[in-house]
């Protein structure tokens, strides 16, 4: 169904977009790190909470992408547009539901999740959460709109918007953090402004006539329950899986918070570097949803399987490249931060370990299951992901950090063990026939 040229045209903007999007968080983390360990620790704590919320938006958008991709595969433009409008309306509603209570109850929520942390860390976290939570509605609309463009096979426009947002965010960070000395507040305001601009530009693109999927009138966004059920049947299990994944990471982060400020700051840097390594692979997985979804819409499961294996191999190659680059750069990167010598050593050693483990396990654990989800096999991926997350990453990390002397290493041993189990289970699933039996549009 897809030529090599079409696959390249889909994937390279996705990779660039994911890297650029990730750089927004990297810019906040590293620029704030120059303010001090308390500031970077506060931002890290809130980022783990923000990621939990953002993943619900992404899961809903992914459900819409799968449904729209299959309708596009069937050449049913009317239903593809109907599904896209429902995704946009539901995304905005979900964002408002998340935004209002977090803004109103930000300090109790932070205290409940992270327990007793140092006062200056909590103050920084509260400021960062207040401002970034206000960006949820525009971020949700941007995520939904970008996902719909990918369903059409157009990944170039989201990439352009991500580039604009990144430039604005970095300039805003430089001006507000260093020029006006606003610290954490400056980083948060720069992120808010860049997300507003990226949302407006994305919606402007989507409003152009003549596309397969375009914005409809206000009445198009009222709930149409039959279509919403189709989207939720795919998006809800992914949302639960992502939610459990991120909530598990919050529990791990809470465990790290008991190890002291140095460990929290080191974990923040390691997590950012790990995220940078994962961004290109995540982009490949996003592209796989579009490709496998359209194959399944045309009734070609064997072709979908061939693309799942191809995209997973591409993800392995990318993991080798990014792991090598990050591993070589990490000693220099740590010198740019305000970390203690102990923290710098810890960051370097764990980053090298994770880079090796990623090559062996991550592509089959995270790129491959996106193809299964595109085929509608979302319940299996949800149960495997949730069980592996809580049974290994959370439980093993908690045990190693609390009852052994390995310290922060315990988190990443649990992390990589989780990857290994996922990779094994998803590869075995692909070898069988059950994943082919699902019908997303029924």
| 399-412: pLDDT as tens digits | 888 888 788 888 88
SS3 180: coil
pLDDT digits (tens, 9 = 90+) for 204-231: 888 777 777 777 666 666 777 777 787 8
Cα separations in angstroms, 191 against 197, 271, 421: 10, 19, 35
Q: Which of 325, 326, 324, 318 is nearest to 281 (CA)?
A: 318
101/363: higher pLDDT: 363
Decide if 357 is inside a domain: yes
> pLDDT tens across 56-71, in order?
788 788 777 888 888 8
Only one residue has tokens 């809903």, namely 60
Question: Mean of the pLDDT values across residues 378-396?
Answer: 89
Cα–Cα distances (Å) from 135 to 19, 92, 128, 189, 329, in that order, read 20, 11, 11, 10, 32
Percentage, residues of the chain above pLDDT 90? 17
Distance in angstroms (rounded) separating the CA atoms of residues 385 and 418: 9
Residue 102 has pLDDT above 80, yes or no: yes
Please calculate the CA angle 38-43-48 and round it to the nearest 5 degrees: 130
Taking the model in full, what pTM does it have? Answer: 0.76
Residue 35 lies in a domain: yes
Domain count, the chain: 1
Instruction: Average the pLDDT over 172-196 and give the result.
Output: 85
Q: What is the pLDDT of residue 358?
A: 93
Give dist(CA 155, CA 51) in Å, integer: 22
Lookup: tokens for 45: 């704590």
* Per-residue pLDDT at 312: 95
Bigger pLDDT: 20 vs 397: 397
DSSP letter assigned to residue 177: I
The answer to whether position 344 is within a domain reads yes
Predicted confidence at residue 310, as pLDDT, reads 94
Whether 414 and 394 have beta carbons less than 8 Å apart is answered as yes
Q: What's phi and psi for 411, nearest 5 deg?
A: -60, -45
Highest mean pLDDT among 180-184, 190-194, 216-220, 417-421: 417-421
Is 442 within a domain?
Answer: no
Q: Domain limits at 76? A: 4-437
Q: Per-residue confidence at 319, pLDDT binned at 50, 70, 90?
A: very high
pLDDT surpasses 90 at 315: yes
For 239-260, how does the pLDDT look when each residue is reduced to its tens digit (9 = 90+)?
A: 777 777 777 777 777 777 777 7
| Cα separation values, 201 from 159, 221, 375, Å | 12, 20, 31
Q: Are residues 44 and 343 in contact, defined by beta-carbon separation less than 8 angstroms?
A: no
Please count the other Cβ atoms lying within 10 Å of the Cβ belonging to residue 155: 23
- Given a cut of 80, is residue 36 above it in pLDDT? no
> Which of 3-17, 30-44, 97-111, 128-142: highest mean pLDDT?
128-142
- Residue 29 pLDDT more than 70? no
Cα separation, 422 vs 358, whole angstroms? 12
CA 22, 24, 29, 34 torsion-angle sign:
positive
256, containing H or E segment:
helix 225-257
The answer to whether residue 29 is domain-embedded is yes
SS3 181: coil
The pLDDT of residue 24 is 63
Radius of gyration of the chain (CA): 21
Which string of DSSP letters, residue by residue, matches 362-418?
HIIIIIHHHHHHHTT-HHHHHHHHHHHIIIIIIHHHHHHHHHSS-TTHHHHHHHHHH
Residue with the bigger pLDDT between 196 and 89: it is: 196
In terms of residues, how long is the chain?
A: 442
Tokens of 51: 């990621």
């Amino acid at each position: 169904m897809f030529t090599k040229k079409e696959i390249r045209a889909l994937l390279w903007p996705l990779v660039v977009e994911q890297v650029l999007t990730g750089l927004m968080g990297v810019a906040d983390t590293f620029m704030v790190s120059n303010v001090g360990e308390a500031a970077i620790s506060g931002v890290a704590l809130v980022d783990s909470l923000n990621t939990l919320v953002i993943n619900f938006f992404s899961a809903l958008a992914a459900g819409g992408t799968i449904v729209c991709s299959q309708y596009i595969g069937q050449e049913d433009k009317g239903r593809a547009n109907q599904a896209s409008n429902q995704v946009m309306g539901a995304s905005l509603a979900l964002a408002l539901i998340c935004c209002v209570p977090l803004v109103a109850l930000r300090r109790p929520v932070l205290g409940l999740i992270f327990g007793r942390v140092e006062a200056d860390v909590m103050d920084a976290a509260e400021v960062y959460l207040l401002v970034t939570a206000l960006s949820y509605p525009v971020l949700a609309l941007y995520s939904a709109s970008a996902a719909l463009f990918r369903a059409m096979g157009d990944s170039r426009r989201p990439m352009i918007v991500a580039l604009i947002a990144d430039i604005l965010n970095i300039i805003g960070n430089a001006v507000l953090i260093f020029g006006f000395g606003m610290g954490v507040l400056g980083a948060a305001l720069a992120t808010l402004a860049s997300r507003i601009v990226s949302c407006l530009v994305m919606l402007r693109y989507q409003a152009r006539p003549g596309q397969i999927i375009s914005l409809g009138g206000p009445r198009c966004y009222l709930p149409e329950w039959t279509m919403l059920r189709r989207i939720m049947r795919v998006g809800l299990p992914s949302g639960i899986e992502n939610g459990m994944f991120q909530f598990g990471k919050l529990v791990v982060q809470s465990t790290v918070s008991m190890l002291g400020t140095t460990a929290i700051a080191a974990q923040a840097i390691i997590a950012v570097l790990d995220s940078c390594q994962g961004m290109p692979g995540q982009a490949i997985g996003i592209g796989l949803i579009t490709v496998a979804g359209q194959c399944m819409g045309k009734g070609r499961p064997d072709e979908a399987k061939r693309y799942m294996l191809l995209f997973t191999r591409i993800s392995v190659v990318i993991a080798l490249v990014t792991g090598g680059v990050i591993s070589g750069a990490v000693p220099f990167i740590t010198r740019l931060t305000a970390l203690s010598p102990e923290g710098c050593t810890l960051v370097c050693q764990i980053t090298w370990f994770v880079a090796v483990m990623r090559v062996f396990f991550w592509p089959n654990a995270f790129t491959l299951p996106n193809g299964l989800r595109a085929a509608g096999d979302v319940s299996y991926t949800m149960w495997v992901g949730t069980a592996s997350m809580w049974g290994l990453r959370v439980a093993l990390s908690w045990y190693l950090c609390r009852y052994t002397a390995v310290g922060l290493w315990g988190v990443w041993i649990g992390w990589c063990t989780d990857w290994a189990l996922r990779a094994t289970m998803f590869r075995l699933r692909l070898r069988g026939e059950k994943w082919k039996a699902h019908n997303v549009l029924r």
